[in-house]
Each structure stands twice: as C-alpha cells, then as structure tokens.
Structure 1
Amino acid sequence: MTLMAAKFTPKVLLSAPRRSAGAPNCTGEKILYTVTTYSFEEHRKTSQIRYLDAKTGQSTLLYENPAYSEPTWITEDRFIFLKNGDKGTTTVKEIKTFRGSISNLKAKRLSDKTVALACSVLTTPEGKMFDSEAEEKPHSSAKVYTSLFVRHWDAWVGKNKQAVWYGSLELQNGKTVLAEPGLVNAHPGTGLECPVPPFGGSGDFDICASGIAFVAKDPHINEATHTKTDLYYVPLKSFTESKPPKPQQVKTGKLQGYSQNPTFSPDGKSIAFTRMRSIQYESDKTRLLVIPDVEDLSNVQEFFETEDGEGGWDYKPDGIAWSHDGKELYITAEFEGTNALWKVPSSPADAKEPPTKILGAGSVTDFKLLSPKSRKLFVTTSSLVDNSSYSVLDPRDQSLTLISSSSKQGKSFGLSKKQCSDFWCKGAGDYKVHALVMKPSNFDESKKYPLAFLIHGGPQGAWGDSWSTRWNPAIFAEQGYVVVTPNPTGSSGYGMALQNGIKEDWGGKPYNDLVNCFEYIGTHMPYVDMNRAVALGASYGGYMINWIQGHPLGRKFKALVCHDGVFCGLNQYCSEELFFPLHDFGGTLWDNRATYEKWDPSRFTGEWATPQLVRIHPAPPAPVAVSSLNVLDLDYRLPITEGLAAFNVLQSRGVPSKFLTFPDENHWVLKPENSLVWHKEVLDWINRYASAEGDECASVVEKTGSMKI
C-alpha cells in the first residue's frame, strides 16, 4: 500500500521507496526488482527483493535483507542474487561463497541444463580474486605515486582492479551448481580493467554462447589525460575453460575515444556497441557501430557515417538491445529534455533514414526484450513527477501499456503533469534555448510566485523530464516557487553544435543564454515575481553561480546557492580527470593560460555583492547573497578549497554567507541524513531571501513521515 504525502517535502523525497529497473523473466510474466527505503524515524535503510506479476500488477516480497542485491534470472522461474558478507566475502545465492568482492551479475541460458555466468570481481595484479582478509595490513597509511592519476572521484587509486570473471552454472535436480573450475578471470595479466571506473557496471560487458565482449581503458595511455577505452572480445569454447585465450582488441580507425555498451546479437554472431571519436572529450558524440561477424573483428561498420567524420545523426546513442530476429536495434538517446527510445535497422547499409523515435515521453532508464512471441519491450521510465514506472512497449505501433507506477504517476507525492511545461527562447547566437518549467501543485495564475532558477552541471548535461533525489525541481516548486531549468549552450540532447559551443567559452554564450532566459521569464510569465528570484547550481552550475555573482545577472537575484562550483579557473589541475580541462579550456594550463584566466570567476570577486546592493545585517534581506555549498573532503573532482575560497571572499567582503560541508560525501550528497540537512539548509536559505513560505518549510521537513510501499 502507498500512503499519500500531505506535501512533497525533502523528507518525503528521501524516504520514498526507490525501485531498481525491472528485470522480466523470459516470458515477461514476472518482473524482479529491488526496493530500498530509508526511515528517518528509525535512522536505517531497508532493502527488499520483490517480484511483480505483470498481469495483475501485484507485488510480492521475496526477501528483506540489506545485504541482498542484484537478483538475476537464470531460468523462467529461478534466479540468483548476491549477498555481501562479513570480512570481504560475497555469496552468490544459492551457489557458493567467495572470498572476494563480486558485483554486476550477468547470466545467459545456453541450454536446458546450462547457464553462462559473468560478473566483475576486484582482482589483484597477479589476476587473483582479491581477499581483503588475507592481505597483510600495513603499519602506515602512506601512499606513494610516481605518475598521474593518484585518485579518482572519491577514492585513491590502488593496485587492485576490477576484472570480468566467468563460469558455468549447471541445473541439477532443482539445484544450481557452479561447474569446475569455478569462476575464471577472463583477462589475466593484461592490465585491463572492466568495468571502467568510477561508474561502469554490467553494461561494460556482455556474454554469448561463444564468448565475452568487454570494454576497458587502454593501459598504455594515461587515463588522467585521455578517454580512450577499447572493445575486446574473448572467444570461448565453453564457460568452463580454465585458461581463456588472450582478449582480441577491436580496431575502429579514427574513432579513438570511449567505447561503451557492447551487446551481442541473439545468435551471438554480431556485436553492437558505441564509440566516441575524441581521445580527450568525455562527452563527445557516441557513434553506433556493429561487427557483423565476430569471426572477423576487422569488419567494423558505423551507422550514419559521413566523409567529414561528423556522422549523419546528431544525437548520442547510449543503451542498446537487439530485436529477437536480429533485424533491428533499439537504442536510447537524449532528445530535447527527454531520454527517448529509438529503433533502427541492425545493418548500417539498411539504415537509410535516421532512427525512428518509438518512445519520447519522460526518460527511459532501462529497457529489455520480452518473449520472442510478443516482440515487445519492457521499459523502466521516470519523469519530473513519477519516480519509477514499469511499462510494456510495442515498437511496431508504439503503444505503451503501464504495468506499475511506484508513485501512482505522481499522485502519491501530490504531483501531476499539469505542473510541468516548457518554453523556447532566443539564445546568444543563431539558435534557441529550451527550458523546462515546474509550478507549485496549488498554482494560481492570478498570484505572484518567486522564481527558482536552476543551472545544471556537466557542463555537457541537461535538465530533463526525469526523477532525481539530489536536484528535484518538485521540491522547490512545492515550497512555492515557479521553477525554471534552462538548457543553455553546453547542454546535451539538442545537437552537437549547441553542446560543443561551450568549448573555451564557459562564461560566454552559456551566461548570455541564461540572461536571455531570465529576461524571457520576466516578459512572458506574469505570475513570476522577478523581484523574488533565486538561482542555484551544482558542479558546472556552481561555477556559473560564481560567474553570475561577478556579473550583472547576479544583481537580479535575491540569493544564490553554489554547490561544488569552480572558484578559480587556474585551479583546474586540482582535479583528477585532466582530460576535462584539456578539452574544455583548449589545452594545458601553460600553453593556453589565457583561456583559463578569461573564464575565471575569481577575477570578478570585486563585484561580488557590491556595497551599494549588500545589506550585511539579517533584516531586511540583502539583495545578493551566496550560500557556498562546496562539498567535500571526499570530492576529488572539485576539491573543498574551491568552496572555502569562495566563502572566505564573501565573508571578507561582508556578504551574508554560509558554508556547509559533509566530510563523508563526494561530489554528490548521497546519504539520506546528510541529504535531509542539505535540503533544509538550501531551502531555509532561499526562503529567507525570497520569502516563499518562510519557516513553514523547516516544520514540514521535520514532521513529514516516510512513505511505505
């Protein structure tokens, strides 16, 4: 049963059940998924494995244990899952316990009695499964490095790497047995790491009856300065081979960037995957590629290839699935504020026209094929008002049948699609800028509402019609704001010209796009009180907040919130992925210092809250104020000193300001208790200056209980 929230508050958001993508069995009648829920009353998280009856929509609890994860079908009625144990062990239920860290289960049924299994395992340089208990404990915490890339995201780089391991499961008299020789490292002694950190998962490898395909960074090129990952193929006679052959690298000519999403055809003879061209651009356009026959890895064919190398389709394919007959590919790609699902013939020679969009509402987060007989797809989606929906899509007529919505399509949160709209406004050049709008659920057009102006990170990213537990527009809307989330220059899903336009122009066209968007709101949205506007941003959005602060647009806002924003452009080399500034700022700090300096927010700190506009006492509110939310000690993408520097400037200039930090978080605030504090501090801050609902926010955050599934 789902309880209706009296009001959508941070506590409701963070305590609402979070469902994984659904995993249908081969008939599509049963859907496995996990649900995690956090209770602020008990201060603990619960985790469940459940299955959903696709016909009735009835959900059944199978297990409730925080150590259980990754339920994976191996037959129509049987599945395996992981149990994380004490002292570094992992159990593949009900098969075997391993002294090591196992994740990213993937299974493929090969016969009535055999199932191929693959997973990722933390592996030693010698190619063995890493056993934390057996390792000799050092007496010092010292770390010594002699090359680039000493830490990544939120962890110091160590000697042990993730690797793909494989094995064979035998179905015997109602039991599942791991055949000898057990789990085997698919690429020992190669120096290859898969999945690719920090966000790689089961999508980085795939299996078929004849082998394994996986992607890995080139071990001969420094990963701090390059984005090159290659596709490899390991042919196997069976999944019981104790010594696999050496992985065969797939060559892709001038495409030298990230390789992603290897996916075997149903017969295992072909592989579809994506690859970027640039070797130093993490957000380059992905190209859809296919190897028609794994017996000839030199024959790699590109979809929509053009002589100039730009490609004939202007969007970025991501997730991939083959149709059961192997004649079509289904792919996801961002498109104008959505993550849409498309179909295209599986042969580039037959792909005469751009892909056909078969689902464009909301955002597709996962999709899987159902039975060959149905020829339909099981799709997991979300939207600005709905945190998780499971549906069945018929790609032939694009009909969509809803099976289950975790939030009753937003009703459980008191949200509805009528709160959502969008607009297009003039950009800084010969293009238009798209913005999404979310209004309060009790919106009255005859009233005036303050504006919450949200700026996305990336910068090659976008706001979309999707759910988030970190930056959720509905949270601000339900505080009484009209929320506008613009997608200016640098945004993805609007063609590569707009996205690439931000290169070496961080504070140029994107800033002017935002100025135009702000002016459009004032002219075309009379229900917005432009004198009570606030702006918030994280990562690149945080950079833009610091940039805005030193420029005229900053004087238009009553308050600003900067989360993890760059303070000084010359400090880009404090980050770990140096390929990022090398691309976006056009070279090294010493060869192109002028660009780093040109877009440096710290150059304009003399304009931060000028004396004429700043009131340094609590009331009445200051015209300009910043809450500096640079997080954190574990944020290796953007060190905490960037936030401290911004805060120190504000304090030194007498600008009302506050500093919030979480030493146990990375670039994101993920722990529920920390996130609740984050939301409270942010909402208290903007409400103080925009006078949305004042102290009511804090009381609602404290009193609203958690939702139950």
Structure 2
Amino acid sequence: MHLLDFPEGIEPSAIQYNAESHTLAFSAAVWTENGDFGLTAKGDKAYADRGDTGQVYDDLFVRHWDTWRIPGRVYTIGTTVLRKRSDADGLFDAEHEHVFTNILQGTGLYSQADAIGADQFSLSPTHIAFALKPPHLQVATHTRLEVYLQPLDQPGFRPIQLTPGSQGAISGVEFSPDGKKIAWLEMAQDGYESDRRVVVVHTLSGGKLGQSVRWTQEWDRSPSDITWALNSNSLYVLAEYNGRVRPYHLSTPGRLPTPIAFRGSTAAISPLAENDSLFLLSVSSLTSPIEVFLLDLDEDQVRGDPDKFPPEAIHRLTDYSGPHINGRLDHLRGEELWFTGVDDRKVMAWVIKPRGWTEEDSPKSYPLAFFIHGGPQGAWDDQWSTRWNLALYASAGYFVVAVNPTGSTGYGQEFTDRIAGHWGDRPYQDLVAGYFAALDKYPEIDPNRTTALGASYGGYMINWINGHNVFGFKALVYHDGILSTTDTYYSTEEVWFPNHDFEGTLIENRANYEKWSPLNHVAEWNTPQLVIQGGQDFRLAESQAIGTFTALQLQGVPSRFLYFHDENHWVLKPKNSRRWHHEVLRWLDEWVGAGKRRGVEAEVEPETEAIDVDVDALVNEGLFYDDFSDLVGGVEAFVEDVAANVVEEAEELISMVL
C-alpha cells in the first residue's frame, strides 16, 4: 500500500505515527538558509555544483562518529497529516498534496551533525515533546539536552522548556498512551555521558505544564529504555544489573522497581494487558541470538521472585536462530566468575568453556581468549553481540574470560565512576586479578597459551598491557584504540569525554593524560600484536592505529595491520565482519593454537580452515546482527520465506492505525 511520497531530497528517519491525530513525524535534513523541506533538493544540488571541495567551519563539530558535517545543513523534526483518500488508492488530503511542516523552523533549535533519534521525540494527539541541545552550548564539550513541548497545530510556536537547564543528557522521551504524561531519562551531570539515568515523569494539566517528578532518584541503577504501561499509570524500564539487562516495573514514584526478568538479557519489553500480567519480550544471551518470548503471569507472580516463575508462564514464540546454531553454539553457556579486585571490591567476569570441554579434561588443555570491553563505561552482559561474539571463540576452541573491571556499568554508579582519573591502574588491577582468578578456578586453561583482545578503551588497554604484561599473554589484538592520550584529546570529536575521564582539559590536567598514556611505555612492548582500524572512525582516529603498528614494527615486535577504509569505530558490513573474524582467529591460532593442546585428543582441531567454515556460516546465515529487525533484514536464507508475511502484517497494521 502506497502511503505518501516525501519531498525530493528528504531521507526520513525515526518515523513515528499517532493514530488519533493521524500525524506522522520524522527526522530529516534541511538547509538553515530556508528550513523548508521542499527546498532541500535544491540546496543539495547547489552544494553538489559549488565547483570546489572546500569546507569552511566556524564551530565544532567538524565531523562526528563517521560523517563530516556539511556547514549549513542541519537535522530537524517534520510532521505531516495522513488522511484516507476516497478512492483508497492512497493516503493524503483529498484536496491538497501532503503538507510537510518543519516544526522547528524559526525556533533556533536543531541537531547540528546527526539525525534526531526516535528516542528524542514523541507524539501525543495534540503535542510533540522532543529533546535537543540548546543552541548556545558548545556541542563538543556539553552533553546537556533540554526537553521541549510544542503544540502540533502551532508550527513555529516557541517550544516550552520542561527541564531546568542544569542537567546532563536526556533520552527516552515518551508520551503516555493517554497523552497526559511525558517520561524521559535524565542524567544529572552535564559533560558526563555515563552518569546515572533517572526516570522523570512530567504530568500535563489540561494540556498545560504541570509537575516533573523523579521516579527513580534513590535507585542505584541506570535505566536505558522506557515503555509505558497500557493504562498510563506505570512504567517499564530496562537496566543493567550484574552482567544482565533486566526489565523492571515502576509502579510508584520513589518505590524501588520490581524486576520481571527470567534469564539472559532483555532487548525490548511490550506490555499486552492493562493489568500488567502479559508481556512480549525480546531476549538473548551470550550464546543465543535474540528470540521473542511471551511472559504470561498473574498479579501475584508479577510481584514475586522472577527466578521462580513457573515454566508454563514462559512461551517461546520464535526460533529463528535454532537451525543455525544447533551443533555449534547451543551447548555453550556463560557462567559467572566473582573475585576480589582492587580495594577489596567484588568484581565479576563471564566465562564460556570451549567447545569440546569435559570435566575429565587434563590441566593446561586449552588456550585462553581474554576480552577487555570498551567504554570504558560499558560491560560484558549476558546478551548476543555481533561485533564481539564471545561464543564464537569458545566454539573455535578457546576458553573465554571477559572481565567487567572498575568503570563497568551495571554494578552501581559508584563502581562506574571510580575509573575517572584512573584509566591505567584500577581497571588494570581488576583485569590482573580476574586473569589469575580464572587460571586458579579453571586449571584446564594453559597459562602458556593466553591471549587478550580489546576495542576502543579495550584497545587502549591492549597497548597499556603490552607495556605492562604481567599476564604473560602470548598475543594481543587491538581494535580502534588509543596510543597517545594527549594526541587523542584534540583529534576526537566528543571532547566532553576526556574532560570528564581525565578530570580536566588537557591544558588543566596534562599530568593525568601523560600518566596513563601507552605512548610513554612503547619501549617495553614485546608481545606480538594484531592492529585493526576503521578508516571512517572519527572517535579514535586512524593515526592511533598506524602509530601503534609503526611502534611495533620499529622495535621488531611481530605485528600485523588490518585496515578497513569504509568502516567506522565498528566493523558492520557482513563481508568485512567475516574478514575481521578470519584475521583475528588466524592471528590467535598462529601464536597459541586453537582447541585442546596438540597431542591431546581433541574434538576441535586447530587448523584455520575449520575456523573459517564456522565464521563463514555464521555470517552468511545472518547471525552477526544486534537486534531482531537486523536479524530479519540480514539473514539471506530467511528473506524469501518471511517477505510475504512481513508485507501482509505491515498492511494489516497500516489499516488498523489509520
């Protein structure tokens, strides 16, 4: 069914629809000279025909993530009203073509470098709420966004600001189903992207401003997603908790949320009943891609222990991954390893035993793949990943250990905050403690065949470890990391990040940057290292990787450089992902060998060819995708089977909402 045509040159994203008002909202680019969607194509052509390639910038950002900013071209929010045509051939006003309105035109508000995300705006029948950065703030040093409210029938109306103007980042803006409340996630500190998020609910009174209440002020977890209950009286959020992403129910402001998770990590929750007893969940684990489950509970069970849900309450609705992982990954399981880290704090790691492991295995049978996450405010959670798929390494015969050291998320905000000013000591000491705790608990690991891998901050730590290798790693893998903390300061785009984590600007606190810079320890590098970099990574520029490889080569340290000119901070293209995994596994196998120790009877042979088959199969079958939508979109084997159903369901949905 054909709905409408957007104006030429408009590439809409984050499309939302309100059925009651028939309003469709979206994010798209316009030229600041006029701000009219109808003139975007004209502006694009003038830019393309300008005759030279020079770009002039008077402010930051110059570039962001993987895209160079085009001066004068910004992102805004547009709306249009859908109406059924009498002959049912299309959907538009019977007398006029669709009118596309730039609701931010004349307000001075826009997104300078990136499309406005779906979690930054929300529709009610009468209003639109959105979160944007105030135009007077320096975009490179401030994370603060403000929440604004604007009537749908008054484009150009100066939006009403709902936030106080002293907070940090905002996300998850969401109107309640009845349109009377707006919820969002709010950080307290401007300039700290990993501050704790608090659920804020603003109640409108007769369509006018009311009161904002902080629902989770006393909860020491950081929710990442908001979903309203169908009755508009309560909320559901997702939050990391000790290595898992769990769904929680928020029934009352100030009351601690009730967990309703049962296993793995939840990517999305959709309530299906007004009494909060029926839910649709998207769930994955370290060893299983996302599948869809139905959770059917009575009211007593909702308030009870989620680990004691009766089996009959959980219904698995999909098995997209089963045919593709059975016999490869289905027998693998992630297990928790807790140990004492720096300052006598409890620290957690995930462990996956290798394919072919048995309780009768001899000591020192398996090589170790030791993973260091990025962020550094991030975590290894019990969820499927396409870029760092830990189960793949276990399937290839490696004992997998992934530590969540100081700075990790999901273990309380104070644990996360403790990395500031301590990039090279507290997390490093936790990694050392976790490494030896794993060797102690799992004697099957061969300490003479251990490796470490990391990206972003993990790549920084790989370089740091090469100058401080008390582990005895025999090979290292660096991906898009840091060689020089001082050089990175002026080449990265989001300068608020080093300002916070190194406790000041480079001018104010240069000593801290120098203290934790791997560049100052390259003379001690002697461990073979694979260096990987994406050419479109503007977060951590390619000069850091080239410098790392150069330092290794000049000192005669065995090293290899893998470069993807068309990838950003992440390697996302399926064929590039396959090459990435092939080269990483080939590098590890060259130095420590895959599977059980040679000479020991092994189910998994160390030859590279066997590994390639597994990687090719997993990539070709589309299991290197992060969420359900990507899974369906990327699995070539599924496309022909599901296409007809997807179209039919989409048409059904359209007819229902319009």
TM-score range with shorter-chain normalisation?
0.7 to 0.9
4+ residue runs of structure 1 moved beyond 6 angstroms?
A: none
Query: Which of 340, 356, 360 pairs up with 1:446?
Result: 360
- 2:455 paired with 1:543: no
Query: Which of 143, 160, 164 pairs up with 2:55?
Result: 143
Aligned to 1:102: 12
Identity %: 37
Kept after mapping to 1: 8 A contact 2:367/2:445: yes
Change over 3 Å in CA distance of 1:593–1:676 after alignment to 2: same
Mark the runs of 5 or more structure 1 residues left unpaired by the alignment.
1-79, 81-92, 306-311, 610-623
Query: Which of 118, 121, 130 pairs up with 1:202?
Result: 118
- 2:343 paired with 1:429: yes
Tell me, in whole angstroms, the C-alpha distance in 1 between the residues paired with 2:291 and 2:230. Answer: 24
Counterpart of 2:513, as a letter, is Y
Kept after mapping to 2: 8 A contact 1:451/1:532: yes
Kept after mapping to 2: 8 A contact 1:234/1:244: no
CA deviation profile, 1:69-124 (whole Å, cap 9, x unmatched)? xxxxxxxxxxx7xxxxxxxxxxxx432242111121111211xxx62211111122
How far 1:445 moved relative to its partner?
A: 3.0
Query: Which of 543, 566, 573 pairs up with 1:671?
Result: 573
Q: TM-score, normalised by structure 1?
A: 0.79
Tell me, in whole angstroms, the C-alpha distance in 2 between the residues paired with 1:553 and 1:470. Answer: 28
Q: How many correspondences in the alignment?
A: 583
- Determine helix, strand or coil for the equivalent of 2:211: coil
Aligned to 1:462: 379
Tell me, in whole angstroms, the C-alpha distance in 2 between the residues paired with 1:546 and 1:661. Answer: 18
Q: How does 1:528-607 map to 2 (within 5 A)?
A: 528-553=445-470, 556-571=472-487, 572-607=489-524
Change over 3 Å in CA distance of 1:297–1:248 after alignment to 2: same
Aligned to 2:418: 501
Query: Which of 166, 179, 184 pairs up with 1:273?
Result: 184
- Determine helix, strand or coil for the equivalent of 2:587: helix
Query: Which of 202, 216, 220 pairs up with 1:314?
Result: 220
Counterpart of 2:404, as a letter, is N
Kept after mapping to 1: 8 A contact 2:28/2:115: no
Counterpart of 2:36, as a letter, is K
Aligned to 1:289: 200
Kept after mapping to 1: 8 A contact 2:332/2:391: no
Aligned to 1:222: 138
Tell me, in whole angstroms, the C-alpha distance in 2 between the residues paired with 1:224 and 1:413. Answer: 48
How far 1:226 moved relative to its partner?
A: 0.7
- Determine helix, strand or coil for the equivalent of 2:231: coil
Counterpart of 1:461, as a letter, is G
Q: How does 1:339-378 map to 2 (within 5 A)?
A: 339-345=245-251, 347-348=252-253, 351=254, 353-370=255-272, 372=274, 376-378=278-280
Tell me, in whole angstroms, the C-alpha distance in 2 between the residues paired with 1:392 and 1:139. Answer: 58
Tell me, in whole angstroms, the C-alpha distance in 2 between the residues paired with 1:703 and 1:431. Answer: 41
Tell me, in whole angstroms, the C-alpha distance in 1 between the residues paired with 2:552 and 2:182. Answer: 55
How far 1:401 moved relative to its partner?
A: 2.1
Counterpart of 1:670, as a letter, is L
Kept after mapping to 2: 8 A contact 1:419/1:441: no
- Determine helix, strand or coil for the equivalent of 2:146: strand
Aligned to 1:166: 79
Tell me, in whole angstroms, the C-alpha distance in 1 between the residues paired with 2:384 and 2:196. Answer: 24
Counterpart of 2:531, as a letter, is S
Query: Which of 320, 324, 334 pairs up with 2:230?
Result: 324
How far 1:379 moved relative to its partner?
A: 1.9
Change over 3 Å in CA distance of 1:246–1:474 after alignment to 2: same
Tell me, in whole angstroms, the C-alpha distance in 1 between the residues paired with 2:106 and 2:263. Answer: 46
Tell me, in whole angstroms, the C-alpha distance in 1 between the residues paired with 2:106 and 2:264. Answer: 44
Which of the pair is proportionally richer in helix? Answer: 2
- Determine helix, strand or coil for the equivalent of 2:77: strand
Aligned to 1:628: 531
CA deviation profile, 1:677-702 (whole Å, cap 9, x unmatched)? 11111110011111111333455268
Tell me, in whole angstroms, the C-alpha distance in 1 between the residues paired with 2:332 and 2:541. Answer: 40
- 2:26 paired with 1:124: no
Change over 3 Å in CA distance of 1:199–1:538 after alignment to 2: farther
- 2:541 paired with 1:639: yes
How far 1:197 moved relative to its partner?
A: 5.9
Kept after mapping to 2: 8 A contact 1:161/1:193: yes
CA deviation profile, 1:226-263 (whole Å, cap 9, x unmatched)? 101111111234xxx6x352211112364x11111111
Counterpart of 2:319, as a letter, is S
Query: Which of 171, 174, 179 pairs up with 1:263?
Result: 174
- Determine helix, strand or coil for the equivalent of 1:415: coil
CA deviation profile, 1:348-389 (whole Å, cap 9, x unmatched)? 2xx3x3101111522222233336488633222222122121
Kept after mapping to 2: 8 A contact 1:379/1:390: yes
Aligned to 1:29: none
Tell me, in whole angstroms, the C-alpha distance in 2 between the residues paired with 1:403 and 1:301. Answer: 37
Q: TM-score, normalised by structure 2?
A: 0.84
* CA root-mean-square deviation: 2.2
Larger relative contact order (Cα-Cα within 8 Å, sequence gap ≥ 6): 1
- Determine helix, strand or coil for the equivalent of 2:530: strand
Counterpart of 2:506, as a letter, is L
Tell me, in whole angstroms, the C-alpha distance in 2 between the residues paired with 1:226 and 1:203. Answer: 19
- Determine helix, strand or coil for the equivalent of 2:256: coil
Kept after mapping to 2: 8 A contact 1:680/1:701: no
Change over 3 Å in CA distance of 1:409–1:365 after alignment to 2: farther
Tell me, in whole angstroms, the C-alpha distance in 2 between the residues paired with 1:193 and 1:377. Answer: 36
Aligned to 1:657: 559
CA deviation profile, 1:612-637 (whole Å, cap 9, x unmatched)? xxxxxxxxxxxx211111x1321110
Tell me, in whole angstroms, the C-alpha distance in 1 between the residues paired with 2:353 and 2:122. Answer: 43
CA deviation profile, 1:651-671 (whole Å, cap 9, x unmatched)? 111110011111111111111
How far 1:145 moved relative to its partner?
A: 1.5
Change over 3 Å in CA distance of 1:360–1:227 after alignment to 2: farther
Tell me, in whole angstroms, the C-alpha distance in 1 between the residues paired with 2:581 and 2:275. Answer: 48
Tell me, in whole angstroms, the C-alpha distance in 1 between the residues paired with 2:367 and 2:461. Answer: 21
